Chains A and B, each alone.
Chain A
Amino acid sequence: MIVIEQGESTPYVKVDPENYSFILKGNSFITNPHQFYAPVNDWGKTYLVKEGHILHVEITMGYYSTSNIQYLNLFFKTLINNNKGKIEVTFYLDEEEEEDLEETMLSLIFNTGLSLNKKYL
């Protein structure tokens, strides 16, 4: 299990493989995403979802910088490519902010084969 508390420029992160849960919550505009997300990236590079299970990724949206989007998109591509059909991503957001956050959501899952699945808070 990996838990990182929310910071001024970083989201709350909880990776709970035993319960097939991955949570990201809040803004992400840290200037060195490689360093911040290193533990999550190390886990994601080798993680394989067991047969018959689905890893639920829940992202409560905030504001992301392009460098953080770029890094996380690459991370999700690897994770989803290694676990085809076993990853489900759901975005949570305020309905009022949908237009402002739409492109960020699409960017995070760009070229992963997943379609945009969003729920309002």
Chain B
Amino acid sequence: MERAELEAKVLEMVAASFKKDAADLTTETSFKDDLGGASVQMVALVSEIENELDAVLMLADASACATIGDLIDLIEEEM
């Protein structure tokens, strides 16, 4: 999968899990500052990534990502 396609998919998944509009998100969006990330939403996101991209992430690794771009890097490593 090309990086651009992966980015688009992950932005959609983040939007769905955190109940945001995908158009407002970028790879620079911060989980902590912009999304107010709680573990419940991160669990939903990790599950969705596992379902749709077949990449199994550790919750602790996903939670350690500062931005959506960092998460995409992590997914690329696992795919």
A, B: real partners: no
